[in-house]
Amino acid sequence: MKPVSTLTATCIVIADMVGTGIFTSLGFQTEDLRTGFPILMLWLVGGVCALCGALSYAELGAALPRSGGEYHFLSRIYHPAAGFLAGWVSATVGFAAPVALAAMAFGKYLTGIFPDLPGLGDRLPPQTWLALLITAIITLILLRSARLGSLFQDGATFLKLALMLVIAAAGFLISQAQPISFLPVPGDAKSLTSAPFAVSLVYVMYAYAGWNASTYLAGEVRDPSRSIPLSVGIGTLVVMLLYLAVNAAFLRSTPIPAMAGKIEVGLIAGDSLFGRHGAKVMAGLICTGLISSISAMMWIGPRITMTMGEDFSALRWLSRRTPQGIPKAATLAQGAIVALLILTSAFAEVLTCVQFALQACSFLTVLGVIVLRQTQPNLPRPYKTWGYPVTPLLFLLISAWMMAHILRSHPRETLLGLSILALGLLLYFVFPSRNLAPTK
């Protein structure tokens, strides 16, 4: 029996989406948006866009049920070279850099709770060795057995959901709430069409990243034609509601000037929500939530490299699996990349460089729903995108706008990211034979 149930697939989607973004981005939004309605509209619009992308991916995941996500989809829809480029970015740093970021955030928040933790020499301060340790522990759990990894992911995600519900409840039960309204007030209509709203939406969409997580595991999901649409749809809706509730809780409990321009919004709000020791309470909640995020990304990434290893002889060693079907070599390879990024602290720069390329891959994949409807109209589609063609077109419009903003804001980093793609294209033509039988 395949190890990933509908429940686990949904948990992976939720865990991959809910990371540090919800606890950090509100401070930048409140610099220019000072009323509750436009701020919550940001998160609603971002959630609708993510849902449009998720529903589009669900059609492809149900129709083309093989692990690998964009690598598999783009190979089938356009050309194997397009799929290889997507897989190359995801397999090398697309997942490793976010894992490193989440692990370092875990170390930073944990040292805030236990400030007396010692370092291990000059080059390994507490937050660094804690990041390496949590990555190693989760890697070992995921390598132990598919069922253990599934149970761990389910448990960690349910705990994350419970903690976010606690934050939301605390915000609405607080005795001395801030004088803020979430209904439209004069001037809000202008805010919704302003440049600050548009800029803030980019960061909100980064916080929603991960809505397509279960499509990377399609080959290990039970009944993918049913489980993938349910997991991406339910997972995205749950996260959208949680994001709206948590942001409302922050705004009700904490003065906007106290959060404006600050990255540690979660810690600032923690003091208002939970009293004198609120910062440590919030740090503990965030640490717990980050564990499931790291686990989800450590589970997804190796499935891409495993699938690439099945198709390219030069990468065949990455397709090696344990008797339980776990991609052992790919998991260890990703763990090594994460450790390198943590030790060199290069993950932030790497993530900025590949952001344009990652968004472009999502754009081409959603566009592929439309392309495939035209080129392969008779392909069995157990699930069809709800609201087609409006659903994918809405996602494509917002994605195109985001890519244009990234290109204008970070031209140097975007060019470096495109250079990484060029290297991947070179490797594609260097690597011999495709369509090899999977190695167990």
> Which of the two residues, 213 and 145, has the higher pLDDT score?
213
Question: Considering the chain, what is the average pLDDT of its residues?
Answer: 85
Percent of the chain at pLDDT exceeding 90: 27
Q: Rounded distance, CA 283 to CA 324, Å?
A: 36
pLDDT of res. 57: 94
What pLDDT, on the 0 to 100 scale, is given for residue 440?
Answer: 38
Confidence at residue 396, expressed as pLDDT on a 0 to 100 scale: 95
* C-alpha to C-alpha distances, 195 to 200, 379, 396, 405, 414, nearest whole angstrom: 8, 42, 20, 11, 22
CA trace torsion 142, 362, 194, 42 (10° rounding): -40
The upper half-sphere exposure of residue 169, i.e. CA atoms within 13 Å in the direction of its Cβ, equals: 6
| Ramachandran area for residue 207 (φ above 0: left; ψ -120 to 50: alpha; else beta) | alpha
> Is residue 221 within 8 Å of residue 228, measured between CB atoms?
yes
Give me the residue spans of the domains in the chain: 6-430
**Phi, psi of 215, deg, nearest 5:** -70, -20
The structure tokens listed for 142 are 């995921």
Q: Are 222 and 6 in contact (CB under 8 A)?
A: yes
Burial call 266-293: b when 16+ CB within 10 Å, e when fewer: bbbbbbbbbeeebbbbbbbbbbbbbbbb
Length of the chain: 440
Q: Residue 426: how many CB atoms within 10 A of its CB? A: 10
Please tell me the pTM assigned to this model: 0.82
Band of residue 1 on the pLDDT scale cut at 50, 70, 90: low
Name the residue type at position 316. Answer: R
Class of the 6-430 domain? Answer: mainly alpha
